[in-house]
Amino acid sequence: MIDCGPRLGKLSLHQFSRATCKHGLGTCLSATPIQAGLFKQNVLLETQHGEWIFRGCSHYSWQFPKERFFANFIAEQTNLPTPRPYLIDTSLEHFHYDFALMPKMPGIQLSDQSLLESLSDDDFKKIAYELGQTLRKLQTFQAPFYGEYDEFTNTVVPYKESYDQQLLQKVRALIEASNVTHQTISNDEERKLMTIFQAHLKHVTSSFPVITLQDYKADNTCVMKVNSDWQVTGIFDLMEARFGHHLEDLPRQHATYIDAQQLDLADEFLLVYDLAESDLPLLNCFIIIDRLIVWEYMCRNIDAWKEKPFSKWVQKYCLTNLSLFK
C-alpha cells in the first residue's frame, strides 16, 4: 500500500493499474505522491505509456470538468502548454472518489525545491521574466465578457452583475468569512478598504476581459531551459480560472517573491507589463483581494493568525507610494 496522504488515503499499485489500463495508458509501474500543494490531491504515475498525474478526490463536482475545459480552451486559444488529454473518471470503480488523469508536463516543476538548488541567480531572473511573458501570452485572448465556468453547460457564462460589483461582493464575503470566529479585520479597516475598492474597481470595465487563473504562480508551472533561455512548458491547477481582468493574475506570484524577500525577482516579473502610474491603484486593489483570499484561509486554519493586524500585514505586498491605511 502507498500512503498518499489524508485526502487520498492508502492506495495500491493494483488500483492505479486498473485505472490507467481502463483509460488506455497501460500498466502502472510506480506511484509517487506529490508533496507540493496544500491539498495533496496528486500522485505521479509511471505507466507503460509515460508519466501521468493522478488527481483525486475533487473539492467540488465542477473542479475536474472546469480544469479540463480551461486546459483545452487555453491550448486552443493561445497555444500555451496545458495538460491534455485531461481524462475524468467518476465511476467509483477503483477508488471511493472521482479522479482525473493527465500527462505530466515536460521540464522541471517549480514547486520542487530540490530541483531549484542547482539554478543560478541568472536562471531565477530569466524564469521570473518568462513567467511574466507567459502571462501576457495567456491574455492575448480577448474574452467576450467577464464570466465564470458553468458545469451544466460546460462553458463560461457572463456574471449577472457588472464585474466591479462581482468583485465587491467577493470582498465582502471574504471579510465576513475572516471574522466568523474572531474579528480579524476591524470595522475601521473594512470601511477604509471598501472606500478604496469603490473608488478604483469601477475602472475594471474600461479593459476587455481575458483568461485569468487566480492562482497563477511558479509552483503551478513547469519550465525548461532551451539554450541559455527558459520557457514555460506547462500551466496547470486551473480550478479558479475564469474571464477576468488582466491585472488580476499579477498579485499571487508577486507576493510569492515578496515573501521570499526576492524583491529583484518581483520587479522582473512585473517588468514585461510596463505598468503606468495610472495602473497602480487598480493593481493594488487586486493585490489586496488576493491577500484577503489568503488571509481568510489562514484565519480559518491557523488560530495564531487571528492575532495579526490585517492592515499591517497586507501593506508589505502593496506597491510603493500608495498608503492604504492612513
**In this predicted model, what pLDDT tens digit does every residue of 213-246 receive, in sequence order?**
999 999 999 999 998 899 999 999 999 999 999 9
What pLDDT score does 112 carry? 77
Distance between CA atoms of residues 6 and 8, nearest Å: 6
Report for 56-70, 176-190, 286-300: range of highest mean pLDDT: 56-70
191: nearest Cα among 204, 172, 210, 208: 172
Which range has the worst mean pLDDT, 109-113, 129-133, 152-156, 173-177? 109-113
- Please state the pTM of the whole predicted model: 0.93
**In this predicted model, what pLDDT tens digit does every residue of 137-174 receive, in sequence order?**
999 999 999 999 999 999 999 999 999 999 999 999 99
DSSP line for 137-152:
HHTTS--SS-EEEETT
Residue 211, phi then psi, degrees to nearest 5? -75, 125
Average pLDDT of the chain, as a whole number: 92
Helix count and strand count (H, E) for the chain: 11, 14
**Residue 2 corresponds to which amino acid?**
I
Examine the pLDDT at 65 and tell me if it is beyond 60. Answer: yes
Examine the pLDDT at 322 and tell me if it is beyond 80. Answer: no
Residues contacting 284, CB < 8 A, separation 6+ = 196, 200, 318, 319, 322, 324
Q: Percent of the chain scored above 70 by pLDDT? A: 95
What pLDDT score does 110 carry? 83
Residues contacting 310, CB < 8 A, separation 6+ = 178, 184, 185, 186, 189, 295
What is the pLDDT confidence band of residue 326, given thresholds at 50, 70 and 90?
low
What pLDDT score does 304 carry? 66
What pLDDT score does 325 carry? 56
